[in-house]
Chains A and B, each alone.
Chain A
Amino acid sequence: MSEPEDRKVLHADLFTEDPEPRLIAGKSKSSGNWTFPAYLADPVSFQDDVEPTLLPRRGILHSFTIVRRSLPDFPVPFGLGLVDFPEQEVRVMAQVEADDLENDLKLEMEVETIVGIVRKAKDGSDIYSYKFRAIK
């Protein structure tokens, strides 16, 4: 990515920043259950053998909205979505980008993990983190 190295990044521990970023979830070695983010223990088996494990880059858009009014520091409008990773039985909430928010976002469409601007800092600079992008 071309952004300066001192850019502000939120929750950098939850995603990889390679050209094809992926979310870092947790997977229990014994039960195989996933959570995002990684919990201290698997909530089903209560085994504390959770290891950082990458989710697939692509997920399915379960639902979304276009937020028109939000808290300060979030320029509106922006897309907000619930993205399913069915094989891992994980759902992730994050912002969703599209060229045309009004028309490009559809339920059950494929989205991919990206890193982009999610909000403003108090000094007006951009803050980056993981988000999703609609795949046409």
Chain B
Amino acid sequence: MASLRDVYIIGVGQHPCGKFPTKAAHVLGREVTWAAIKDAGIHPRDIEIAFCGHVYQGMGVGQRTLKDIGIVGQPVINVEGACGSGTLSFWEAWRSIAYGQNNLALAWGVENLSKIMSGGPLPLEEDDIEVALGMSMPGLYAMRARRYMDEYGVSAETLAKVVVKSRKHAAMNPIAQFRKETTVEQVMADPMIADPLTRSMCCPIGDSAAATVLVGGDMLNKIKRDKDRLPIKVLGIAAQSGGYSSATGLTCDPSENVTRTSGMAYEHAGLGPKDIDIAEIHDAFAIAELIVAEALGFAKKGEGATLIEEEKSNYDGDIAINPSGGLLSRGHPVGATGILQTVEIVNQLRGEATGYQVPNPKIGLIETMGGAQPAMDGITCVVSILGK
């Protein structure tokens, strides 16, 4: 990789996750972008470029958002990469600074799903053959779950324990959508969505937004800031589109994409899985926490369940996975998710996750996986590694 500038996150903002049908995307967006700018202590006009990740929020939502806080004229790029849209916008902001085009950038993600649907599976692209024939995200992950459970001897109760851990973490997170703890018995007794996934093994429909302000490392002491917030460094980052799974689709396994992308991010950072203290990963469905943890190198193939069974991935465990509650419990407002994950890691590294602070984390990882395509290992994957 060419010699790149260091990039730091100096400001963050986030909105609670939940149902906010009266809050349009630009309203959610302006609240978090303003909060991030205030957190950074910069003047809004110092933002040189901005990237807005979303999936369903219509034309020009980025420009409509920033108009409301006086940021006009600068390039604003709306970014879509399915559920990876937020972190794809972050990657674009990082890129614009790392390669020297800009000094100060804003990246946010936003989604208001409750304006377009009340529940059920996310609407997918009907032009896709498989979607037209009945594919849904819960259906796809359910098939992954069934195969995984058969190959590695994992039970549905283990998937339920993922949800129990997720709810336990979220109970302490003030912005989480679900803050009530649950039990294995309750998760198993939930209505079945797609066997073996019950309702609480699937992420909820919800709305939110989150934002980050990024700056070049050489500008940290030059740019005017009225606050002295701890800068969080982007140690490594990579974005990949889905590839053919084993060339012609015999595996149809998104973890290939996660392995490939995280390998690039680890290489960029000069780090490996054992260096990670805390991670926010894309657990859109309970099975995903197991297969993604393996793909990231936190467990051997087929042994992701041990992290759950032995409580190694609790917020005070060997590696804290999804201390926010993850997509299952904090929520999964698709375009906002990647930035919500990023803000969570920043807050944890700053030591500001009051009530659920992971003990002294130094390095955190964010993994976001977007979309699904048969014969491909996903649509978008972004992995970033942050440190203080």
Contact = CB atoms under 8 A, between A and B. Distances in A.
Interface of A: 10-11, 14, 33-35, 37, 43-44, 62-71, 74, 78, 80-82, 84, 86, 88-95, 107, 118-119, 129, 131
A67 B150 CA distance: 19
B130 A67 contact: no
A1 B354 CA distance: 66
Contacts of B191: 68-69
B202 to A, nearest CB: 9
B134 A78 contact: yes
Interface in B6-37: none
Contact of B194 (A69, A71, A88): A69
A80 B247 contact: no
Contacts of A81: 143
B134 A90 contact: no
A65 B142 contact: yes
Given A84-B250, A107-B150, A67 B134 contact: yes
A64 B146 contact: yes
A32 B110 CA distance: 45
B244 interface: yes
Nearest to B129: A11
Interface in B230-257: 244, 246-250, 252
Interface of B: 120-121, 123, 129-130, 132-136, 138-140, 142-144, 146-147, 150, 191-197, 244, 246-250, 252, 374-375
A80 B374 contact: no
- 9 nearest CB pairs, A to B: A65-B142, A63-B147, A63-B143, A89-B248, A65-B194, A91-B249, A93-B130, A93-B374, A66-B195
A43 B143 contact: no
Contact of A90 (B133, B140, B248): B248
A65 B138 CA distance: 10
Interface of A is mostly: strand
A67 B192 CA distance: 8
Question: Which of the listed residues A34, A63, A86 has the most CB atoms from chain B within 10 Å of its own CB?
Answer: A63
A37 B220 CA distance: 52
Contacts of A80: 134-135, 139, 142-143, 194
30 contacts: A10-B133, A11-B133, A33-B248, A35-B248, A44-B247, A63-B143, A65-B197, A66-B192, A66-B194, A67-B136, A67-B193, A67-B194, A68-B191, A68-B192, A70-B120, A74-B134, A78-B134, A80-B135, A80-B139, A81-B143, A82-B143, A82-B252, A91-B374, A93-B140, A93-B252, A95-B133, A107-B147, A118-B133, A129-B132, A131-B133
Contacts of B123: 71
A71 B193 CA distance: 12
Given A89-B250, A107-B150, A94 B195 contact: no
Contact of B133 (A33, A34, A94, A107): A94
B123 to A, nearest CB: 7
Nearest to B121: A71
A124 B146 CA distance: 32
Contacts of A69: 120-121, 138, 191, 193-194
A69 B134 CA distance: 11
Contact of B375 (A33, A35, A68, A107): A35
Contacts of B121: 69-71
Contacts of A43: 244, 247-248
Given A68-B194, A71-B121, A91-B374, 6 more contacts: A43-B247, A67-B193, A93-B374, A107-B146, A118-B134, A119-B134
B248 A34 contact: yes
A20 B246 CA distance: 30
Nearest to A74: B134
A95 B129 CA distance: 12
Contacts of B140: 93
A88 B247 CA distance: 12
B143 A65 contact: yes
B133 to A, nearest CB: 5
A45 B374 CA distance: 20
A71 to B, nearest CB: 6
Contacts of B374: 82, 91-93
Contacts of A67: 134, 136, 138-139, 142, 193-194
A92 to B, nearest CB: 8
Contact of A14 (B129, B138, B195, B375): B129
A37 B144 CA distance: 22
A89 B139 CA distance: 22
Contacts of A34: 248
A95 B132 CA distance: 11
A11 B132 contact: yes
